[in-house]
């Protein structure tokens, strides 16, 4: 009952499900597409401005004192998870739509979540401070690393990321993040005062990016072009990735002989994936119809990993 209550209480899950449902029933079409794209661009700018304001530079410096744990999480996220995503994309190519298969590679290249990783680490009675620092560090690094890794590996399967896309990354991700860091001293107290409102605005902005991207896929005929058996294959691929990710993160922690609290931090900080970075970045790199297909593995994985994390965290808390 506690597990079910924890899962159902996550309102962000319902927002994402609502975004996909709304896109299916009422997708963005015609003259509204440019307006929606502009709204998404503004939302992406807002998301990364908030990231810049929230990420305390002192916390990152302090967190690096536990360099073995931080390095392990960083290596797991941008090493092992990228390799898993790449291998699965190659295995599944030919069985599912090419852009959905590439979505597994894209999923592997993404950073871990910040809020969810810290929340489940806290529930599991792990090292919350290290979790926050690790997630913040990989998310900051992902602004550059994720598109670079994806571009390098996706080129082997015929996906080309243009120079214009990297320019958009600079102007829509790096610029607002840097601005947030500059105004952090003055903006953080204001953000703290309106914490709940800012959190909801952040979630709605991410959901908007998902809605517009999935709308493009719906208009392009995703439900007609992608049969049910392909969604089943995607689901099986996600199950395999979850088993390897969560099992691998726990084993790596044991291999490095981390104390149990740090193993819990590595588990949630290494195995989860951030839709807060994935949805906006997909909107920058690809047109909406392609982005919608690319995001399918991420949507499956994000929802499934949060659902899986709840019972794991409660079980670990009782140890």
Q: How many residues does the chain have?
A: 319
93-110 pLDDT tens trace:
889 998 999 999 999 999
3-state secondary structure of 272: coil
**DSSP track, 37-93:** HHHHHHHHHHHHHHHHHH--HHHHHHHTTSHHHHHHHHHIIIIIHHHHHHHHHHHHB
Is residue 3 situated within a structural domain?
no
As a whole number of angstroms, the distance between CA 188 and CA 181 comes to 10
> Which of the two residues, 111 and 119, has the higher pLDDT score?
111
pLDDT of residue 232: 94
CATH of residue 105: 1.20.1530.20
Triad 302, 304, 310: Cα angle to 5°: 105
131-164 pLDDT tens trace:
877 877 787 788 888 888 998 888 765 565 666 7
Is residue 6 situated within a structural domain?
no
Taking alpha carbons only, the member of 273, 243, 269 closest to residue 72 is: 269
179-188 pLDDT tens trace:
888 888 888 8
Is residue 235 situated within a structural domain?
yes
Taking alpha carbons only, the member of 300, 291, 279, 159 closest to residue 220 is: 291
pLDDT of residue 161: 61
Q: How far is CA 52 from CA 29, 46, 56, 205, in A?
A: 33, 10, 8, 16
> Whole-structure pTM over 0.85, yes or no?
no
Q: Token digits for 17?
A: 């499900």
pLDDT of residue 78: 93
Triad 41, 58, 56: Cα angle to 5°: 25
- Domain span holding position 149: 66-159+204-317
As a whole number of angstroms, the distance between CA 127 and CA 87 comes to 31
Could you give the dihedral angle defined by the CA atoms of residues 258, 262, 263 and 267, in that order, rounded to the nearest 10 degrees? -150
13-65 pLDDT tens trace:
788 888 889 988 988 888 888 888 888 888 878 877 887 787 776 665 665 66
For range 279-307, the mean pLDDT: 85
Number of domains in the chain: 1
Triad 106, 169, 274: Cα angle to 5°: 40
- 271 pLDDT exceeds 80? yes
Is residue 175 situated within a structural domain?
no
Number of H helices, E strands in the chain: 19, 0
Is 74 within 8 Å of 111 (Cβ atoms)?
no
Is residue 30 situated within a structural domain?
no
198-250 pLDDT tens trace:
778 877 887 888 888 888 878 877 777 778 899 999 999 999 999 999 999 99
3-state secondary structure of 32: helix
**Percent of the chain whose predicted confidence (pLDDT) is above 90:** 23
As a whole number of angstroms, the distance between CA 64 and CA 62 comes to 6
> Which of the two residues, 61 and 72, has the higher pLDDT score?
72
Is 2 within 8 Å of 295 (Cβ atoms)?
no
pLDDT of residue 122: 80
Could you give the dihedral angle defined by the CA atoms of residues 298, 274, 243 and 88, in that order, rounded to the nearest 10 degrees? 50
DSSP class of 96? B
pLDDT of residue 1: 46
Mean pLDDT, the chain, as a whole number? Answer: 83
As a whole number of angstroms, the distance between CA 14 and CA 218 comes to 20
pLDDT of residue 177: 80
- 10 pLDDT exceeds 70? no
pLDDT of residue 68: 84
Residue 261 CB neighbour total at 10 angstroms: 17
pLDDT of residue 212: 84
Is residue 79 situated within a structural domain?
yes
């Amino acid at each position: 009952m506690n597990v079910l209550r924890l899962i159902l209480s996550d309102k962000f899950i319902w927002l994402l499900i609502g975004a996909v449902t709304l896109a299916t029933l009422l997708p963005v079409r015609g003259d509204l597409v440019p307006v929606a794209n502009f709204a998404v661009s503004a939302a992406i700018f807002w998301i990364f401005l908030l990231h810049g304001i929230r990420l305390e530079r002192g916390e990152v410096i302090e967190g690096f004192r536990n360099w073995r744990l931080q390095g392990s999480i960083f290596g797991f996220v941008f090493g092992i998870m990228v390799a898993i995503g790449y291998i699965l994309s190659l295995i599944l190519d030919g069985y599912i739509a090419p852009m959905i298969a590439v979505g597994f590679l894209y999923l592997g290249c993404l950073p871990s979540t910040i809020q969810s990783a810290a929340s489940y680490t806290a529930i599991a009675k792990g090292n919350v401070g290290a979790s926050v620092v690790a997630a913040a560090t990989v998310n900051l690094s992902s602004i550059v690393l994720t598109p670079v890794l994806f571009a390098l590996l996706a080129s082997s399967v015929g996906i080309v990321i243009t120079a214009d896309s990297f320019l958009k990354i600079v102007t829509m991700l790096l610029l607002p993040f840097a601005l947030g860091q500059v105004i952090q001293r003055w903006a953080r107290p204001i953000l703290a005062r309106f914490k709940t409102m800012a959190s909801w605005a952040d979630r709605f902005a991410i959901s908007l990016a998902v809605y517009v991207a999935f709308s493009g896929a719906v208009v392009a005929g995703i439900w007609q072009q992608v049969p049910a058996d392909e969604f089943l294959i995607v689901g099986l691929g996600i199950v395999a990735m979850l088993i390897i990710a969560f099992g691998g993160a726990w084993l790596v922690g044991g291999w490095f002989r981390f104390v149990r609290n740090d193993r819990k931090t590595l588990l949630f900080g290494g195995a989860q994936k951030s839709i807060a970075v994935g949805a906006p970045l997909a909107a920058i790199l690809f047109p909406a119809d392609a982005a919608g297909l690319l995001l399918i593995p991420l949507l499956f994985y994000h929802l499934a990993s949060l659902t899986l994390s709840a019972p794991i965290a409660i079980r670990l808390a009782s140890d």
